[in-house]
Structure 1
Amino acid sequence: MPRNADNETHWNAIAQRYALEPGPINLENGYFGRMSRAVQAQYLEHVAFINRSNSVYVRQRFEQGENVEIRRQLAELINVDPESVAFTRNATEALQSLIRNYNRLQPGDQVLISDLEYDTVKGAMGWLAGVSGVEVVELSHAHPASFDSLVQTYRDAFTQYPRLKLMALTHVTHRTGLVMPVEAIAKAASEHGIDVILDGAHALGQIEFDLVELGIQFAGFNLHKWIGAPLTLGFLYIAPERLADVDPDMGEFHYPTTDVRARTSYSTPNFPALMTLPLVFAEHRALGGSAAKGARVNYLRDLWVSQVRSLSGIEVLTPDDPRLYCGITAFKFAGRDQQVMADRLLKDFNLFTTTRVGAAFGSCIRVTPGLVTSVADINALVHAVTKLNAD
């Protein structure tokens, strides 16, 4: 186990850096993450400053160079060329821009999604079919999943559907926290001439990865889940050698066609949020980065999963292969309405979770610990699941 992952004193001290509203124990930290007190204070200072200075600062300083340094720091975060990233408002906007503007499809080609993709990605691929005359192929992953079964499912699809040219792939699935074997799948896709658009929304900040090593040339991310930034910040990535394969967004003209920033819509951004990013990145590194954050939430995940997986009425949907899970994990009460059970977790045990639907296995309850989650919180979850399962 990485150093400090199980050190409650260490993580309790870190938890004190975040302001918490009184209320239920929050085990739904996957929607978006908290800003630290320091980040929140600086963000509010920037809000007040931008409100006072208005366009004078933005036109004369931010747009004339300060934004370039922030973009450089973003690229450094994931070890890529600054010319390969462009800010968006969230991962959804980034992924929709990439799907909308990918220009290598012809009528009759096929694009691939799975039942574990984010719904807006599925919707974007469906829209693409309507406007481009391509066919959408959707896979349903078998559960329980294994590393080999996941890779083989895609290999089989690549053989079965020879007209595939583009696929969506989610690094960490939002329904169950399943971590896809991205490198192996991307390698197989490349062998068949299929491009991959990676949804990295839940991976960034939880998992250490290298996009080049993964074989990924198109990806979308956000900064508000596991990095600790204010809401309204995400970004897209296009490998520089593949820029020409994505058109400027709807004729975007504020940047030249050789600039990746032309691949998403140009609009007035959240300047105070962008200005806060250097502090966000510094805090992320000071905490130990994705390695430390990921180790901590994985440790908390293992605590509850190891105790409830053996219960006869509980199905944990996320495998225990360390290559295939992160801090997010989903489970089901066998034969029960999962929303009713999630409501009971909240009403009877003061535990806030969320249900996820849309996958072939049906609905489930997603549990996502965060940096402020304690072992006591996890023990409360184990107690509640055990009691409800016995009812």
Structure 2
Amino acid sequence: MPDNTRRARDEAFWQTFADRYDVQPGPVNLENGYFGRMSRTVIEEYQRNIELINTSNSVYVRQRFEQHDNLDIRAQLAELIGVRAQSVAFTRNATEGLQSLIRNYNRLQPGDQVLISDLEYDTVKGAMRWLARHRGAEVIEIAHAHPASYDSLLETYREAFAGHPKIKLMALTHVTHRTGLVMPVQAIAALAKEHGVDVILDGAHALGQIEFDLEALGISFAGFNLHKWIGAPLTLGFLYIAPQRLADIDPDMDEMHYPANDIRARTSYSTPNIPALMTLPLVFEEHRSLGGAPAKGARVNYLRNLWVSAVRHLPGIEVMTPDDPRLYCGITSLRFTRHDNQQAMAERLLNDYNLFTVVRNGAASGPSIRITPGLTSTAAEMQLLVRALNELR
């Protein structure tokens, strides 16, 4: 058994890990997909940085941070994900980066088509529809088959490309926030390339729980969050553009503070959350010391499998992601098939069992309840969820 798989089952180890975090008493949080917790040491570092910026004000920022420290932090981020520093730029979140990539993609002509699916994030869908109103593009919207399989996902895109030969750009979500389905990004990107389609990847939920190589995936444009599985403060994300494709994304609204050949011109120039950025070196250090995405992913996948394996075949419960390890992660949604109102069932999980979850709407397959264990979650909490599902179904 690989080390990460073995350690994922070690409750004593993960309890020691959880002891590094302050957790407010209350419901069992199974909604860790929104954003992650900072460790106690990261919070302390963040607070020190807030105090430093408040006391030194613009003297430090102008003389040191903008000229040196910020560049070093960007280089550390690039090293973490295995790319060149010149290919990443900080944003406030993945959405901000994705909107910039979509808004400033300059290879569309009136009449060209852009592709989205039912599983994309609503703001990404909105940005792609914006291209219809402002660039004359036609939006093609597809719905994925449910239950999904590796082959069905590829076939859906194969049919879309064949049926709509004017598609030039598509959005693709690595880990879908609605159900937790993991898309076979490398295979889809290769298929898109065969048809001359560029891919903008939404990596918001992937970074930190899935190990990947952007170049190997065949991805040239992407947006990510640092506040989910990496463990950074809120307000931190970044966009990625492969260096050889930088010219295909215009500077954002004629941004002039950086030259056109600098990726930072693809973001709005403004005062960022400097203390949060200053905290990133410690965040990266803690992420690596745990074992990075392979270790985190193994743990949350193990917790996911504890409850999924126990309820997969229960009458009245539908698990929304398959058990193909290529297609799932720690995030997985479920549906009570004998109850129409999933929100009411989520409220019963909370009121009757003290389990906090969230309902996700928008998938063609219908609403579902998203279950996302976190790195401080326990096997006992998964067992409580299993009991609740057995009794509520």
By the TM > 0.5 criterion, same fold? yes
Task: Give TM-score scaled by structure 1 length.
Answer: 0.99
Cα separation, 1, equivalents of 2:189 and 2:145: 19
Deviations 1:164-185 (A, max 9, x none): 0000000000011100000000
How far is 1:3 from its partner? 2.9
Unmatched tracts of structure 1, length 5 or more: none
For the residue of structure 2 that corresponds to 1:315, the secondary structure is strand
For the residue of structure 2 that corresponds to 1:3, the secondary structure is helix
How far is 1:64 from its partner? 1.2
For the residue of structure 2 that corresponds to 1:319, the secondary structure is coil
Cα separation, 2, equivalents of 1:5 and 1:123: 38
- The one-letter code sitting in structure 1 at the alignment partner of 2:307 is W
* Alignment correspondent of 1:31: 34
Cα separation, 1, equivalents of 2:267 and 2:170: 20
How far is 1:125 from its partner? 0.6
* Alignment correspondent of 2:191: 188
* Alignment correspondent of 1:360: 364
Identity %: 72
Deviations 1:160-214 (A, max 9, x none): 0000000000000001110000000000000110000000001000000000000
* Alignment correspondent of 1:203: 206
* Alignment correspondent of 1:332: 335
Cα separation, 2, equivalents of 1:47 and 1:140: 45
* Alignment correspondent of 1:287: 290
Give 1:310's match in structure 2, choosing from 310, 313, 319: 313
Cα separation, 2, equivalents of 1:76 and 1:151: 31
Cα separation, 2, equivalents of 1:129 and 1:21: 45
Matched, 1:147 2:163: no
* Alignment correspondent of 1:7: 10
Deviations 1:335-356 (A, max 9, x none): 3110000000000000000000
Deviations 1:63-114 (A, max 9, x none): 1111111000000111001000000000000000000000000000000000
Cα separation, 1, equivalents of 2:373 and 2:354: 15
Cα separation, 1, equivalents of 2:171 and 2:50: 36
How far is 1:264 from its partner? 1.0
Cα separation, 2, equivalents of 1:326 and 1:77: 20
Matched, 1:374 2:378: yes
Cα separation, 2, equivalents of 1:371 and 1:232: 20
* Alignment correspondent of 1:227: 230
Matched, 1:265 2:268: yes
- The one-letter code sitting in structure 1 at the alignment partner of 2:362 is G
What is the alpha-carbon root mean square deviation over aligned residues? 0.5
For the residue of structure 1 that corresponds to 2:233, the secondary structure is coil
**Mapping of residues 340-355 of structure 1, within 5 Å:** 340-355=344-359
* Alignment correspondent of 1:175: 178
Task: Give TM-score scaled by structure 2 length.
Answer: 0.98
- The one-letter code sitting in structure 2 at the alignment partner of 1:260 is I
Cα separation, 2, equivalents of 1:298 and 1:174: 16
Deviations 1:22-42 (A, max 9, x none): 100000000000000000000
Matched, 1:78 2:103: no
Give 2:131's match in structure 1, choosing from 124, 128, 131: 128
Cα separation, 1, equivalents of 2:345 and 2:378: 22
Matched, 1:92 2:95: yes
How many residues are aligned here? 389
* Alignment correspondent of 1:236: 239
Cα separation, 2, equivalents of 1:278 and 1:287: 14
Give 1:117's match in structure 2, choosing from 116, 120, 128: 120
* Alignment correspondent of 2:43: 40
For the residue of structure 1 that corresponds to 2:323, the secondary structure is coil
Cα separation, 2, equivalents of 1:359 and 1:301: 21
Deviations 1:1-51 (A, max 9, x none): 523010000000000011101100000000000000000000011001101
* Alignment correspondent of 1:247: 250
Cα separation, 2, equivalents of 1:318 and 1:116: 12
Cα separation, 2, equivalents of 1:140 and 1:133: 23
Cα separation, 2, equivalents of 1:384 and 1:51: 48
- The one-letter code sitting in structure 2 at the alignment partner of 1:312 is P
Cα separation, 2, equivalents of 1:100 and 1:335: 42
Deviations 1:284-316 (A, max 9, x none): 000100000000000000000001111111111
How far is 1:158 from its partner? 0.5
Matched, 1:212 2:220: no
Unmatched tracts of structure 2, length 5 or more: none
Matched, 1:20 2:23: yes
Cα separation, 2, equivalents of 1:65 and 1:106: 40
For the residue of structure 2 that corresponds to 1:117, the secondary structure is coil
Cα separation, 1, equivalents of 2:203 and 2:80: 14
